[in-house]
Structure 1
Amino acid sequence: MLKIGITGGIGVGKTVVCRMFELLGIPVYDSDARAKWVMKNKEALRLELQAAFGKEAYNDDGELNRSHVAGIVFNNPERLAILNNLVHPHVATDFALWAAMHSDKPYVLKEAALMYESGAWKQMDQMIAVYAPLEVRMKRLLLRDKHRTETDIKAIIDKQLQEEEKISRADHVIYNDDQQLLIPQVIKLHEQFLDQVK
């Protein structure tokens, strides 16, 4: 079974691409959703996060106090690195267990915005980068995230690895630029992966 990573910055359309692969019967691991689950449900990680960010890191109901933690890490690269170094190994373990549950499939996808930054790409056999130009991403995000301003979105984009770097490191690129059709690109890759595991 191949493990394929899929990444790209905010607003490139990773979710849409992943849904297309799911329609082809390919399981997709959503790293953001699983990280939230792991932070809530793994007692060892909860204790590590409370030690690093205070008891206030969790609400009384056991949910991560996202605003508290975000307030600490957003403009503090050292504290963000601490958060990532605590969370990413637990997510990597969770992914390995999840992938083992899908060993009957020809390949699985792991979707993560921070695939290179977290080192998660090292677990993958191949990498896909989803690409969209900055102006297209901004337009999408302003429509999708009504609570965010253009300045907010630019701040998030500036903190992510540059798209050119992601493309140069990827084995495959899917262009979601409103110029090229997505479905043929996804099907072509799907067929390539199936050929590789025959």
Structure 2
Amino acid sequence: MLKVALTGGIGAGKSTVAAKLAQLGAYVIDADALARDVVAQDTDGLAAVVSRFGPGVLDAEGALDRARLARIVFNDAHARAELEAIIHPRVRQRARELTAAQEDDAIVVQDIPLLAETGGAPSFHLAIDVEAPRELRLERLVERGMDRADALRRIDAQASDAERREVCDVVLHNGEGLEEIERRVAMLWDERIVPFADNLRLGTKEKRPEKLQFVESDPAWPRRFEHLAARLRRVMGPSAVRIDHVGSTAVAGLPAKDIIDIQVTVVTLKAVDMLENALGEAGFFGRAAFDDPKPEQPDVSEWEKRFYGYADPGNLAHVHFRPIDSPGQRFALLFRDWLRAEPQARADYAQEKGMLAAKVDSATAYADAKEPWFVREAWPRANRWAEQTAWHPPVC
């Protein structure tokens, strides 16, 4: 089951996107609707609200007067936090129940306005943010009958566009009309959401393109790493000693294949094997593997790891689970830090990458071809740099 979070500020057009996703075949769970349901008459949620805010938040029929309650909480951050502490756990529980009732191959979309505020993005395979210009959002809210000043207060009470962008994998811009946003949603559905769901159903990671292609250093790479790392942390818990961005995409300014390399340091690889099912449910699939031994440590068994990938076709990743203090774990961190610290090392590696790319056109052939450079140049030079600078791998 593919679990998708959909968020966006008030007036941005989340409902439009949700409706299109439902039309395309998704099962949509509306958090706003659930938030109303859990404080309906004769619910324990409403009783909790009345207990905290008093009977003055009820209308003449004994139902929640949402407008009156909104005026209280939108002007008081502490009161708003207390209301959220009542509503959010109940909404999450109801959403879990509805999700569990769907078929295993379903695509479930949860419309969650406060995704950034609640930190829930890592619980989903994919998080989508809907954005629109502030003035356009205000116009839409006023057209719905909302007072402009009230609309401004509601916008300002939510996370900013930048804060939502930070936790989401996809940003859909909704400022060019209904036809355009529906076109973008349909494209996202066909090119990313459905293939992602297929990979989950089949238990396969998204494979890297075999045709070799380098791209310029992308400032979005660190954020893509953080999204993946957050999902891994949720699954691994304390079994992950640390999670690091490694490889070429972890070095600013270095051209690379558009694949995020992640190293998860563990005490023992058995911990990874025990979590294989949980990792699969989160979209990570892999196998046992070995790094190429380097001089001075030629024993292949010392270089054992678990090599995983992610099922998202829009965020290709290689995840290397390595034991703490193993030579592979140490060298991944050393190589990254050496390249970050030494401009000449970066330049030499970029030149080598370029020369090899001119000779081979497949990713597999490229990986094989650059190994001699690692043995001849990277391994000895990086280790000399470590001695000169007293570098040592971080522990936690």
Same-fold call, TM cutoff 0.5: yes
Q: 1:140 and 1:37, CA in 2 relative to 1: closer, same or farther beyond 3 A?
A: same
1:89 equivalent in structure 2:
89
Instruction: Tell me, yes or no, if the aligned pair for 1:84 and 1:118 is still in contact at 8 Å.
Output: no
Secondary structure (helix, strand or coil) at the match of 2:113 reads coil
1:140 equivalent in structure 2:
140
Using the alignment, how far apart are the partners of 1:77 and 1:145 within structure 2?
Answer: 25
Using the alignment, how far apart are the partners of 1:176 and 1:38 within structure 2?
Answer: 30
2:78 equivalent in structure 1:
78
Bigger mean CA offset, 154-163 vs 75-84 = 154-163
Using the alignment, how far apart are the partners of 2:159 and 2:108 within structure 1?
Answer: 24
2:173 equivalent in structure 1:
175
Instruction: Tell me, yes or no, if the aligned pair for 1:4 and 1:107 is still in contact at 8 Å.
Output: yes
Number of residues paired by the alignment?
A: 196
Secondary structure (helix, strand or coil) at the match of 1:29 reads strand
Q: 1:25 and 1:42, CA in 2 relative to 1: closer, same or farther beyond 3 A?
A: farther
Deviation (angstroms), 1:137: 1.8
Structure 2: 5+ residue runs without aligned partners? 199-396
Instruction: Tell me, yes or no, if the aligned pair for 2:5 and 2:111 is still in contact at 8 Å.
Output: yes
Instruction: Tell me, yes or no, if the aligned pair for 1:11 and 1:140 is still in contact at 8 Å.
Output: yes
RCO (CA 8 Å, sep 6+): is it higher in 1 or 2? 1
* 1:179-198 Cα deviation digits (max 9, x unpaired): 79223321222121221222
Q: 1:196 and 1:116, CA in 2 relative to 1: closer, same or farther beyond 3 A?
A: same
Deviation (angstroms), 1:55: 3.1
Q: 1:64 and 1:123, CA in 2 relative to 1: closer, same or farther beyond 3 A?
A: farther
1:165 equivalent in structure 2:
163
Secondary structure (helix, strand or coil) at the match of 1:20 reads helix
Deviation (angstroms), 1:166: 1.0
Deviation (angstroms), 1:135: 2.3
Deviation (angstroms), 1:56: 3.3
Q: TM-score, normalised by structure 1?
A: 0.88
1:125 equivalent in structure 2:
125
Using the alignment, how far apart are the partners of 2:92 and 2:41 within structure 1?
Answer: 15
Using the alignment, how far apart are the partners of 2:99 and 2:162 within structure 1?
Answer: 29
Using the alignment, how far apart are the partners of 1:62 and 1:92 within structure 2?
Answer: 25
Secondary structure (helix, strand or coil) at the match of 1:40 reads coil
Instruction: Tell me, yes or no, if the aligned pair for 1:57 and 1:68 is still in contact at 8 Å.
Output: yes
- The structure that is helix-richer by fraction is 1
Q: TM-score, normalised by structure 2?
A: 0.46
Using the alignment, how far apart are the partners of 1:13 and 1:117 within structure 2?
Answer: 18
Which one has a bigger Cα radius of gyration? 2
Instruction: Tell me, yes or no, if the aligned pair for 2:3 and 2:125 is still in contact at 8 Å.
Output: yes
Structure 1: 5+ residue runs without aligned partners? none
* 1:122-170 Cα deviation digits (max 9, x unpaired): 432221001111122223223x223422x22222111111112212221
2:263 equivalent in structure 1:
none
Using the alignment, how far apart are the partners of 1:121 and 1:34 within structure 2?
Answer: 18
Instruction: Tell me, yes or no, if the aligned pair for 1:22 and 1:28 is still in contact at 8 Å.
Output: yes
Deviation (angstroms), 1:105: 4.4
Instruction: Tell me, yes or no, if the aligned pair for 1:58 and 1:64 is still in contact at 8 Å.
Output: yes
Structural mapping, 1:23-42, within 5 Å: 23-40=23-40
Amino acid at match of 2:74: F
Deviation (angstroms), 1:68: 3.8
Deviation (angstroms), 1:42: 6.7
Q: 1:39 and 1:123, CA in 2 relative to 1: closer, same or farther beyond 3 A?
A: farther
Using the alignment, how far apart are the partners of 1:118 and 1:177 within structure 2?
Answer: 26
Instruction: Tell me, yes or no, if the aligned pair for 2:129 and 2:168 is still in contact at 8 Å.
Output: yes
Instruction: Tell me, yes or no, if the aligned pair for 2:4 and 2:127 is still in contact at 8 Å.
Output: yes
* 1:73-125 Cα deviation digits (max 9, x unpaired): 22111111000011100000000001112234431111122112133434322
The counterpart of 2:150, out of the listed 149, 152, 160, is 152
Instruction: Tell me whether 1:5 sits opposite 2:5 in the alignment.
Output: yes
